[in-house]
Structure 1
Amino acid sequence: MARLSEEFLLAWSSLSGNDSMPGWQAISLASAGPVEVQAGRRSPTNAEAILFCFPTAKLVRTEKLPEGQGFLIERADSANYGELTLALTRKEAGSSELFTAMVCDVVGAIDDVATTGVDESKLLRVLIGRVIAWKQFMSRGANPLSPEAELGLAGELTFMVTLLDSGVPVEEVLRSWVGPDDAPQDFLLGDGAVEVKATMSSSGFPVKIGSLEQLDDSLTSPLFLAAVRFSREEGGLTLPEMIAETELRLGGEPGAVNFLRERLMVSGYFEGHSSHYIRKFESKEKRVFSVSEGFPRLTPGVVPAGVTRALYEINLDHAGDFLSDLDAALKQLGVTG
């Protein structure tokens, strides 16, 4: 759970980093397990920062630390010999509001995973992984998801829960979700892949295909398309509610929940935008199709020479000959449910 912003804002307001000599002014906050957390300001820029002090964890000197448009994370001098201190610092051009939200989330993520008793090296990776997720989120513009992207994410979460219901292990489900990385398909499962599509239409079963490669089984095989039809009903769930439900299905295990939240951020979802997502999704129908020879699609091998990109729509009502089911698909993929 993210920490409250007041903890950091109050600490920063009590510090001054206007000294002409380079250095840090810092005040200790509640630790995150074995990791000491400090709010700081850096002189002479007076930039807000959070310092993370790891008593025994090590970081290879050659490892490149993430840096975004509005922040950077860097090594800082430590008061104790041999201790690793990393400073997450707002750049002058960075939004104070967004940086504060980032700090609350990052420290909260370390808090959550620290409750499991993992060692410092794991918490160090949580810190760096979460900061990388924020970097990717900010690179997308840090704006709420478009209605189309919101629908797509709802479909992927629904399929994720369906996999869990089928007995696929949590770790395998999470590891297979590559949609946030803009991969050709949303899930790389076993020996193949699954592309997930969602629609709100009550007429036909139209879905949008985003590229020539998305339904190309010459690149990835076996390939399946999992389709979800949603309706707008009061009994449905908003996107934030779907995410909360998915986290519960993960058993509340902090490491798994942290990983899911990182992937959601990479997808463009930020909890601070949750009030923006008021549309409700009620799952009404699920279909699984085997994508193979004759399936209605465009691929690099069938379009005229010179056509390199395409965005098109298909009606899955015309793909009945390719209907399968999840159990059969998992068996072909070599995934044990």
Structure 2
Amino acid sequence: MMSSETPWDDIGSPKADFNVRKVAGTDAIPIFWGKNVQGNCLLIIELDGDHSTQFRNDVITLHGITVDLRNGEVPFKQRLILTLEKHVDRDLFFGLCKTLIASLVPVSDASVALSVVLVHIKRWKAFLAGRKLRLLSAEEIQGLFAELQFLRLLYTRRLSEIAALDAWCGIDSVHQDFIFGDTAVEIKSVSGRERNSVRISSEDQLESLSSNLFLMIYKLSDMPDSHHANSLNDIIRIIELELTDDKALETFSEKLSSFGYIPLPEYDTPRFVVSNSQCYQVSEGFPKLVRSRLPQGIARLSYEIKLESIKAYMCSDSLVLERS
């Protein structure tokens, strides 16, 4: 999945304590690569102040990685030490460490830094527990990106943060992507040659028990050089900064884990620009194939709808997004 070269390769094992090398660019919150006497790979994060209570309340136990908070040699400093045990894949640990470093570079407050680390460790734990040790496909990246676009709109224009996260059905849903109140919304993305039609992947996606069913389509363009483009990692970092409710942030992390997502460098591309979005109301006469109307014996179908054929069902996204 990743390169076999890691920063621990040229760090020797010490006779006592640690051998360390500072991570470049980590000045506000100093971070170090390290090895201990046993030769274990370490990531050491230096924190000003005493964070023992916060650590005890929020620490996550992670199979294969020891997370420990120790007092430093200098008064009023502590070290958060992540130690890789032998039965966890080294490259995956390197991926986690790079993610933590990238997340901590803009942080200057030690308490916030500890919270950020523990949130990422919790997501990593859920990822490993799900055993989805593979990269998301290009189609999965694009689909998740589109759902996150709608999630942002939902918590800024219609619902509270936690209500919006609860409405997001995630990967476990066999029906629509978002359900709240008496409204269901199916999210689709199109790009490149797909732009004239949208694929419906099951007979359940356009049939709902909710009174109001909408189809939201995002047109995405891969524009790596645009200042307005975002990768999957980018949009997730944006949402994490926007969420102010701790419970919402925790729920967001859990939902992402269900997709098998952790912020690996591989998700820094593609970089999308949303060139257009259009909402359709799936009302009487909308062209669709649904389970309740299929001939007996037919199941598990997918089909495409020509966008030209559903122009009459276009509606403003305010029907879905604006609060009553």
Q: How is 1:85-124 mapped onto 2 (pairs within 5 angstroms)? A: 86-112=80-106, 114-115=107-108, 117=109, 120=111, 122-124=112-114
Letter in 2 for 1:256: E
Amino acid at match of 1:9: P
For 2:224 and 2:167, the matched residues in 1 are separated by 21
Provide the rounded CA distance (Å) in 2 between the counterparts of 1:50 and 1:190: 45
Secondary structure of the structure 2 residue equivalent to 1:9: coil
1-structure distance, mates of 2:273, 2:33: 41
Structure 1 residues 90 and 301, CA, compared in 2 at 3 Å: closer, same or farther?
farther
Alignment size in residue pairs: 301
In structure 2, relative to structure 1, the CA distance for the partners of 1:231 and 1:32 (3 Å cut) is closer
Distance 1:198 1:254 in 2: 22
Letter in 1 for 2:65: L
| TM-score (norm: length of structure 1) | 0.62
SS at the partner of 1:59? helix
Residues 288 and 225 of structure 1: CA distance in aligned 2, closer, same or farther (over 3 Å)? same
User: Contact 1:186/1:195 (CA < 8 Å) preserved in 2?
Assistant: yes
Q: Tell me the residue number matched to 1:9.
A: 7
What is the RMSD computed on CA atoms of the aligned residues? 5.2
1:140 aligns with 2:127: no
Give the Cα separation in 1 of the matches to 2:283 and 2:277.
19
Match of 1:242 in 2: 229
2:55 maps to what in 1? 59
Structure 2 Cα separation of the partners of residues 157 and 84 of structure 1: 36
CA distance in 2, matches of 1:55, 1:36: 16
CA distance in 2 between counterparts of 1:162 and 1:179 reads 16
Q: What CA distance in whole angstroms lies between the structure 1 residues aligned with 2:196 and 2:216?
A: 16
For residues 82-133 of structure 1, give each alpha carbon's deviation from its aligned partner in whole angstroms, at most 9, with x where no partner exists.
9876432334354444432321220331332x33x4x61x433311222233
- Rounded to whole Å, the distance in 2 between the matches of 1:79 and 1:154 is 41
* Aligned counterparts of 1:311 and 1:240: Cα–Cα separation in 2: 39
CA positional deviation for 1:315: 0.8
Work out which of the residue numbers 41, 52, 62 in structure 2 matches 1:48: 41
Once residues 144 and 282 of structure 2 are traced to their aligned partners in structure 1, the CA distance between those partners, rounded to angstroms, is 21
Do the aligned partners of residues 288 and 253 (structure 1) sit closer, same or farther apart at CA in structure 2, a change above 3 Å counting? closer
* Structure 1: runs of 5+ lacking an equivalent: 1-5
**Cα distance between partner residues in 2 of 1:169 and 1:247:** 23
Question: Aligned partners of 1:176, 1:73: CA distance in 2, in Å?
Answer: 31
Q: Percent identity, aligned pairs only?
A: 18
Q: Distance in 1 between matches of 2:301 and 2:27?
A: 46
Q: Which residue of 2 aligns with 1:256?
A: 242
Deviations 1:174-225 (A, max 9, x none): 857847655454445676443211234467523232x55544432x564321
Give, in angstroms, the shift of residue 327 of structure 1.
Answer: 1.5
Match of 2:278 among 274, 287, 292: 287
Encode CA deviations 1:34-87: one digit per residue, 9 max, x unaligned.
x6645433443x1201134572242346964344xxx52433554589987643
Provide the secondary structure at the position in 1 that maps to 2:214.
strand
How do 1:1-337 and structure 2 match up within 5 A? 9=7, 13-16=10-13, 25=18, 27=20, 29=22, 33=28, 37-44=31-38, 46-52=39-45, 55-56=50-51, 57-60=53-56, 64-67=60-63, 71-75=64-68, 78=71, 86-112=80-106, 114-115=107-108, 117=109, 120=111, 122-135=112-125, 139-143=131-135, 145-156=136-147, 159=150, 175=165, 178=168, 182-183=172-173, 185-187=176-178, 192-200=183-191, 201=193, 204-209=196-201, 211=202, 214-218=205-209, 222-230=212-220, 236=223, 242-243=229-230, 255-256=241-242, 268=261, 270=263, 272-273=265-266, 277=270, 283=275, 286-291=277-282, 295-297=286-288, 310-315=300-305, 317=307, 318-320=309-311, 322-331=313-322, 335=323
- Counterpart Cα distance in 1 of 2:54 and 2:77: 8
SS for the counterpart of 1:207 is strand
Letter in 2 for 1:242: A
Do 1:157 and 1:242's aligned partners in 2 also have CA atoms closer than 8 Å? no
Describe the shift of the 1:146–1:55 C-alpha distance in structure 2 as closer, same or farther (beyond 3 A): same
Describe the superposition over 1:272-306 as per-residue Cα deviations: whole angstroms up to 9, x where unpaired. 2257648x7773x5331224566555666566899
